Structure 1
Amino acid sequence: MKICILGGGVTGLSVARLLDPARFTVRVLERAPVLGGLCRSSVVDGFTCDHAGGHIVFSKNKAVLDWMLDHVGRDNIVEKDRNTRIRWHHRYVPYPFENGVGHLTPEAKFDCLKGYLEAADRRERGEPCPTDFENWVLWKMGRGFAEHFMFPYNRKLWECDLSKMASAWVAGRVPDAPVDDILKAAVGLETKGYVHQAKFWFPLTGGFQALTDGIARACPHEVLTDTPCESLRRSGDGWVVNGEHYDFVVNTMPLPELAKVFEDLPGDVRGDIDALVPISLVNVLVAMKADRPLDDLSWIYLPFEDQGPANRITFYSNYSPRNAPEGHASYMAEITYRGHYDFDATKERELLQGLEHAGLVRRSDVVLTHHWHNRYAYIDQDLEFAARIARVRSWFDDSGMLTLGRFGRYEYHNSDQCIERAFQAVEQIEARARAGDRMTFEIGA
C-alpha cells in the first residue's frame, strides 16, 4: 500500500515512523525546509529556543512517554521538577490559582472564597452548567477567582470576549481543584495541583526539536522537505497528490491550508473549514546576562496588562544547562494574537517594559531578542466550534482519508497526545489493510 503523509510535524513523522516498511510504502511531504512543525527549535548566538509554546517531554501514557524519551535519546535528556507560578501583581502565587489562594492578599482571599462558596451553593440548587466560558467560570469558580485571575488571564490568552467562547473544551485543560484543597490553601496548608505532572523531561541539547529530529532519524520511509502539497484530488479508490497516485493519504496540515489545495472537497465541508479562524502566536527569545541563576521556576503566567503583552514566560535556560551560554540566561515569552501582528521595535519595548514591571528582567541585562511567528497555535473555541468540527471530522473519517494533528484534526492536543493519536491511527490503518477493508476511521473523542 502506497501512503502519502502531508506534513512533517510530530504527528506526521510519528505515523511514518510507526508504519511497517515491509507492508507500506510511505512518503512524507513537508513544505518547510526543516522538519518539526510546531516543535521546531533554533540556536541564536548560542541561545537555544523553541519556535512555539512551552513544550515539555511528558505524558500520562507510559508507553508514549517511553517512546518520546527513546526518540530524544536517553543520553540527551534532563529530568526536571515542575515549579509553576502565577505572577499575581508583584508576588508569586502557586499554579493552579485555586491552590495558591493562601498566597493572596486578605481582601482577594476573601473575594475568592466567598465567590467560590456562592457558586457551589448555586450548583447545589441545580443551576445548569453554562455553555459559554465566561459564565462557566462564574458558575464553577465564582466571581472572586474570575476577577482576580481567570478573566484577565484568559482574555489575554484567547484575545476574545469570553462570553463568545464555548465551555466544552475545559475538561483536562482548566484545573479543577477539590474543595478541600482550596480550603486548606486558604488557611495556609500547602496543596498541589496537577500532581500527575510533578516531573517532566527536556532535551539536554537541540531544544524540543530533538524529539522530532529523533523520530525523523528513525523513520524507515522517504521524508521530503521543501515539498508542499500543491494539489489533492480523489482518483477512484485512491488519491492523487501533486500529480502522483497514492492508495491512501494521512493529512496533518492545518485544515484551512488543506482546503486550499483539495480540489473536490464538498462545499459544505469547505464552508465549515473556512470558519476555523486560527489564534496565532509570536514566540520571543529574551536572552540576558546573568550573574546568578534564574529563580528555580519552570514557567509562569502573566495575567495582567501592566505585565506586558506576554501571557506566559518559560524559564527556558532552567530546562537545560545547554540552552544558554555560561554567564547568561533566557526566557521564552508567548504572545497570542488574531489577524496581523508585527513584532517591531515598539512591540519589543512593550514586552520588555512589561517584564521589567513584573520584576523579571532589567532591560540593561538583555543582550538580544529573537522571535518566530506561528499562524496556527491555538484553536478558536467559539460557540459553534464543537458542532462545526464534528461535521468536518465525520466527513474525513468516512472519506477514505485520515486527518490528524492539532490543526489537522483541530484537537487541542499537546505533542504527547498527538503521538498517542498516531499510535491509534496506525493501529487502525494496519488492521484495515490486513482485512482489505475500506479505510474509514474511528478516532477517539
Structure 2
Amino acid sequence: MAKDEINVDVLVIGAGPTGLGAAKRLNQIDGPSWMIVDSNKTPGGLASTDVTPEGFLYDVGGHVIFSHYKYFDDCIDEALPHETDWYTHQRISYVRCKNLWVPYPFQNNIAMLPKEDQVDCIDGMIDAALEARVANKKPQNFDEWILRMMGTGVADLFMRPYNYKVWAVPTTKMQCAWLGERVAAPDIKNVTKNVILQKTAGGWGPNATFRFPARDGTGGIWIAVANTLPKEKTRFGEHGVVDTVDADQKKVTLQDGTVVKYEKLISTMAVDSLVEKMGEKELIDLSKGLFYSTTHVIGVGIRGERPSRIGDKCWLYFPEHDCPFYRATIFSNYSPNNQPPATVLLPTLQLANGEKPTDTKEAYGPYWSIMLEVSESSLKPVDRENLMRDCIQGLVNTEMLQPEDEIVSTYNRAFDHGYPTPTLERESVLTMLLPKLQEKGIYSRGRFGSWRYEVGNQDHSFMLGVEAVDAIVSGGVELTLNYPDFVNGRKNTERRLVDGAQAFKSMKGITSHIANGTVQANGSIDKR
C-alpha cells in the first residue's frame, strides 16, 4: 500500500491533557500548521474515564480539578461552560489508622490518635525541630526529609508505610525536591495545641475545594476540550497509532502507513517509549535510569443506600497492611451520574464476604461505588490474579463495607505507567535526556513525557503542552517544566484565553521578565 504523506509545522503525539493543551494553543494562535494523533479513539489519556457494562463510571485514578492557571480555567470553562456541567465539593478526606479515621493531613491531626501514639509523634516532632536547628546540610532523600520535618513517630506510623504503598519504592530511594505543596509540614505549636484541646486542624492544600464534572467523569472534560478543535487536524484511534519516530528525517510513521513530516514534535508519550520508537541506543540506555510504578484501578459497585459511616467522604488514605490499596475514592459522591439510577435492574454478583447470594434475581438500586488504587513495581509485586478478592476483603477489614453488602459490579484495569517516580537518579537522567531530545526538535512533555510528578496534575499537564507551543513559536519560557515551585506557589494569571496576537504580546512581556530575573517569588513583576 502506498504511503500517504502529510507535512505540518508541529506534530503533537498524544491526546491526553498535555497534547490537548498543545493543540488548543496551536489552534488559538492560528499560525503554524499542526496535527494531533493518538492511538486511543477517545481522547483523555491518563485522565480518561471508563464505564462498566452495568453503568458505573471510574476515572483512571483519583483525579479532581483544581488549578494554578487562569488559562487552564478558561479552556475548561469554554469546553464545559454551564453551571449545570459541574459539581463543586469540599474535600472531606481521612487517613485510616489504628481503626480510626484521622482527618487529612495526618501529621496535623495526631490529636485523634491514642495517647501513646500522640506522645510518640510529638516526641519525634520535638526531636526533629531540635535537629533542624543545628543541621548543616539539607535532607538527601525523601526519608531524611520526613524525619527532619516530622520525626520518627509520624514517619513510622504513617509517612513511611503510606508512601511505600503509593510509590512502590522505599522512601530512602526517592529524592525530595519534588515535594513542594504535595506534603504538609506540621507546625509543632499548633499540633501540640490541638492535642491538648482535642481539636482537628483545618483544610490544607490546593484541593481543599475542587470541581467535578456532572456527567461522563473526568474523561468528559477532555472529550469536551477535544471537541473544540477542528476535526480535520485530529487522527484518533487506529489511524493515530505511532509506529516509528525518525528524528533525523523529522518524520513519524503511523501504523497505517501514513508518514507525517514535521518541523517540531511535541511528544506526550512516556519518554522511555518514545526513545524506543526512535531506536537510538544512547537515549534508550539513558532512559533506563527512570523508574515508574504500575497503577491498578479497582472499582466496586454496591447496591443500597450509601451508609452513614461513608457519608460525604471524598478520598481516603490507607497506610496499614490490612488492605492492598493505598487510596479509596467514594466515586459515587462526586456525581449522581457516576452510577446507574436506582431504576436499573442488576443481579448481585457476590456478597462482600465472598459468598454467593442466595437470590440471583435482578433487583433495583439505589447504588453507590468505591474506586481503589493499588501500586505495583519490581520492588513491590502484586498478586494480580487475586487482587479483586484481596481488595474487597480489604474494604471489609477497614469497615468500608459490611460482609453482607451486595456487590453488583466490579472493575479492574492496570495502567502500566501509573506514577513517574522521583527517584534519586531522576534528575541526572532528565537533565541529559530532555535536552538531547530538544536538540533534535522533540519536546517531550507531560506526566510521563517530562517525568516530573510535581507538575503532573491535569492543570500542570495541560500547561506543559501550552508552554511547549509558546517556546516553539515565540521562544517563551516553559515555566511549568523548569520552575515547578514557582507555578505551584501562585495563581498564574498572565495568559488568558484571548486572541492569539494579544496573547503572544502579553506572554512575551512576561517571559522577558523571567529571562531577566525580574519576576519575584510572589509572581509580581519587579519594575526596577
TM-score (norm 1): 0.91
AA aligned to 2:201 is T
Aligned to 2:496: none
AA aligned to 2:408 is V
In 1, Cα distance between the equivalents of 2:80 and 2:293?
29
For residues 15-53 of structure 1, the C-alpha deviation after alignment (integer angstroms, 9 at most, x for no partner) is 112213732222212112322111111221444333421
Task: Determine if the alignment matches structure 1 residue 269 to structure 2 residue 292.
Answer: no
Task: Determine if the alignment matches structure 1 residue 351 to structure 2 residue 391.
Answer: yes
In 2, Cα distance between the equivalents of 1:441 and 1:233?
25
Aligned to 1:10: 17
AA aligned to 1:230 is D
Q: Quick one: percent identity of the two aligned structures?
A: 26
Preserved contact between residue 289 and residue 425 of structure 2 (Cα < 8 Å): no
Shift of residue 195 of structure 1?
Answer: 4.7
In 2, Cα distance between the equivalents of 1:231 and 1:440?
29
Give the alignment's Cα RMSD to 1 decimal: 2.2
Preserved contact between residue 85 and residue 93 of structure 1 (Cα < 8 Å): yes
Task: Determine if the alignment matches structure 1 residue 154 to structure 2 residue 163.
Answer: yes
Q: How does 1:81-100 map to 2 (within 5 A)?
A: 81-100=90-109
Task: Determine if the alignment matches structure 1 residue 228 to structure 2 residue 241.
Answer: yes
Task: Determine if the alignment matches structure 1 residue 417 to structure 2 residue 460.
Answer: yes
SS at match of 1:169: coil
Preserved contact between residue 85 and residue 300 of structure 1 (Cα < 8 Å): yes
Aligned to 2:374: 335
2:444 to 392, 403, 416: 403
Q: Which runs of 5+ in 2 are unaligned?
A: 1-7, 343-365, 484-528
For residues 379-426 of structure 1, the C-alpha deviation after alignment (integer angstroms, 9 at most, x for no partner) is 222221121112112222333221110001111111111112223222
1:282 to 290, 296, 319: 296
Shift of residue 342 of structure 1?
Answer: 5.8
Preserved contact between residue 133 and residue 163 of structure 1 (Cα < 8 Å): yes
Greater displacement, 398-407 / 239-248: 239-248
Aligned to 1:320: 335
2:469 to 426, 432, 436: 426
In 2, Cα distance between the equivalents of 1:18 and 1:414?
18
In 2, Cα distance between the equivalents of 1:159 and 1:279?
6
In 2, Cα distance between the equivalents of 1:88 and 1:234?
51
Task: Determine if the alignment matches structure 1 residue 197 to structure 2 residue 204.
Answer: no
Change in Cα spacing, 1:84 to 1:47, as seen in structure 2 (3 Å) is farther
Q: How does 1:3-402 map to 2 (within 5 A)?
A: 3-20=10-27, 22-74=30-82, 75-187=84-196, 188-220=198-230, 221-226=233-238, 227-235=240-248, 238-242=250-254, 243-263=259-279, 265=280, 267-292=281-306, 294-306=310-322, 308-325=323-340, 326=342, 327-339=366-378, 341=382, 343-344=384-385, 346-365=386-405, 366-402=407-443
Greater displacement, 216-225 / 245-254: 216-225
Change in Cα spacing, 1:404 to 1:392, as seen in structure 2 (3 Å) is same
AA aligned to 1:189 is K
Aligned pair count reads 434
In 2, Cα distance between the equivalents of 1:168 and 1:196?
18
SS at match of 1:367: strand
- Kindly name which structure, 1 or 2, has the bigger radius of gyration based on alpha carbons: 2
SS at match of 1:364: coil
Change in Cα spacing, 1:94 to 1:66, as seen in structure 2 (3 Å) is farther
Shift of residue 218 of structure 1?
Answer: 0.4
In 1, Cα distance between the equivalents of 2:235 and 2:338?
28
Change in Cα spacing, 1:301 to 1:424, as seen in structure 2 (3 Å) is same
Shift of residue 72 of structure 1?
Answer: 3.5
SS at match of 2:449: coil
AA aligned to 2:452 is E
In 2, Cα distance between the equivalents of 1:171 and 1:57?
19
Preserved contact between residue 20 and residue 462 of structure 2 (Cα < 8 Å): no
For residues 122-159 of structure 1, the C-alpha deviation after alignment (integer angstroms, 9 at most, x for no partner) is 11012522212222211221000111111111121122
In 2, Cα distance between the equivalents of 1:181 and 1:230?
56
- Regions of 4+ moved over 4 Å: 339-342, 439-443
Aligned to 1:436: none
TM-score (norm 2): 0.78
SS at match of 1:208: helix
Change in Cα spacing, 1:116 to 1:47, as seen in structure 2 (3 Å) is farther
Preserved contact between residue 125 and residue 149 of structure 2 (Cα < 8 Å): yes
Q: Which runs of 5+ in 1 are unaligned?
A: 433-438
Preserved contact between residue 48 and residue 206 of structure 1 (Cα < 8 Å): no
Change in Cα spacing, 1:122 to 1:235, as seen in structure 2 (3 Å) is closer
Greater displacement, 178-187 / 356-365: 178-187
In 2, Cα distance between the equivalents of 1:212 and 1:393?
26
SS at match of 2:373: strand
For residues 77-99 of structure 1, the C-alpha deviation after alignment (integer angstroms, 9 at most, x for no partner) is 11111111101131110111122
For residues 340-365 of structure 1, the C-alpha deviation after alignment (integer angstroms, 9 at most, x for no partner) is 75633x22221111110100012432
Shift of residue 309 of structure 1?
Answer: 0.5
Aligned to 1:435: none
Shift of residue 54 of structure 1?
Answer: 0.5
Greater displacement, 388-397 / 144-153: 388-397
SS at match of 2:50: strand
In 2, Cα distance between the equivalents of 1:177 and 1:420?
31
In 2, Cα distance between the equivalents of 1:440 and 1:140?
33
Preserved contact between residue 239 and residue 249 of structure 1 (Cα < 8 Å): no
In 2, Cα distance between the equivalents of 1:90 and 1:96?
17
Preserved contact between residue 86 and residue 214 of structure 2 (Cα < 8 Å): yes
Shift of residue 317 of structure 1?
Answer: 0.3
Shift of residue 271 of structure 1?
Answer: 1.5
Preserved contact between residue 94 and residue 103 of structure 2 (Cα < 8 Å): yes
Change in Cα spacing, 1:72 to 1:209, as seen in structure 2 (3 Å) is farther
In 2, Cα distance between the equivalents of 1:20 and 1:43?
30
AA aligned to 2:439 is D
For residues 325-377 of structure 1, the C-alpha deviation after alignment (integer angstroms, 9 at most, x for no partner) is 33110010000101575633x22221111110100012432222111111111
Shift of residue 270 of structure 1?
Answer: 2.4
SS at match of 1:258: helix
In 2, Cα distance between the equivalents of 1:323 and 1:441?
36
Preserved contact between residue 50 and residue 60 of structure 2 (Cα < 8 Å): no
